[in-house]
Amino acid sequence: MPLPERGNGSLLASLEPSYMLRALGVEEDMAHTSIRYGIGRDYKILPQSHIQRLVGSTVRGTDFGLGFDSKKNDYKVIQILFCVSIDRVVVYQVEIYSLSTNSWRKYNGIVPAKIKYGNTSWSMVYKNENFCWLAQDGENHEVILSFNMSEGIFRNTKLPLNIGTFGEREIRSVWVIVPFDESISLIVYCLKELEKYFDIWVISELGTKSFWTKSQRIGPLSRVERPLGFWKNGEFILENNSGQLVIYDLSNQEVKTLEFYGKRGRLEIVVYKESLISVN
């Protein structure tokens, strides 16, 4: 997400096998952080983190990930603080909240990539105990940065080669990551084209030895702005150029416009599943 302004705010998250987080502006002391379970039935306000911040730095933004640790049967929240030093160097400080202990601890490992931000570049997804962000590594290569909730470590996954090639043309492409069946998919498209094609790449496992498969190409589709994800029967969900939610049925190649509106470029979809574990 774009770096939030400092001020009162809250973090609101659904606590199910599939997650999305909502950060509406966050104080440095995390005074207003909560996890919500289900739809309005159960929620928990997280305690403040009293971990010392980096000396001489200022927290200018925060990102979050929520997931399940199957080894310890525990839900966790990962908080990434963007700390800016006096000489304007950005350093990450990572803190992890455990629901079972109701406490925060500092992560002392390495974060091997920088999360990308911007209306077209910020993208995150949770799948199979891995919370993932689109990022850039130290050599400015595009990667998926993931944090495994059970292993407690970050890792990078390289993106497939030549993902910006459409036909014989090299064009400026945009990519997002979304859940796809039991895998994670990478959707590649050209933002400025009036009629858009969407290349769908699928990966079964994250890591340095991961193998990407190009699943399909969808399109051309007109009057659509950007992809949001896939529905349970394989329907392709997008935002059109009027800020409406639309569904593209791959079986009959029809586009259905839904009566959902949002701020242009800000629509998101969330996969919701029930959980038997209460946050309290």
DSSP labels, 229-253? EE-TTSPEEEEETTSEEEEEETTTT
Q: What angle do CA 43, 49, 51 make, to 5 degrees?
A: 160
Is 227 within 8 Å of 189 (Cβ atoms)? yes
pTM for this entry: 0.82
Buried b (16+ CB within 10 A) or exposed e, 212-225: beeeeebbebeebb
Q: How far is CA 99 from the centre of its chain?
A: 21
Q: How far is CA 150 from the centre of its chain?
A: 18
At residue 78, the pLDDT reads 94
- Of the candidates 215, 234, 279, the residue with the CA atom closest to the CA atom of residue 74: 279
Taking the C-alpha atoms of residue 216 and residue 229, their distance in angstroms, rounded to an integer, is: 14
Taking the C-alpha atoms of residue 13 and residue 21, their distance in angstroms, rounded to an integer, is: 5
Buried b (16+ CB within 10 A) or exposed e, 164-197: eebeeeeeebbbbbbbbeebbbbbbbbeeeeebb
Q: What angle do CA 165, 188, 216 make, to 5 degrees?
A: 85
**Structural domain boundaries of the chain?**
1-108, 109-221, 223-268
Question: For each of the chain's 280 residues, which pLDDT tens digit applies?
Answer: 333 333 333 333 333 333 333 333 333 444 445 555 454 566 778 888 999 988 888 888 888 888 899 999 999 999 999 999 888 888 899 999 999 999 999 999 999 999 987 655 578 888 889 999 999 999 988 899 999 999 999 999 999 887 765 555 555 678 899 988 888 999 999 888 889 999 999 998 898 777 899 999 999 999 999 999 998 788 999 999 888 999 999 989 999 998 887 777 778 777 666 666 666 6
φ/ψ region of 266 (left if φ > 0, alpha if ψ in -120 to 50, else beta) reads: alpha
Q: What angle do CA 163, 164, 169 make, to 5 degrees?
A: 130
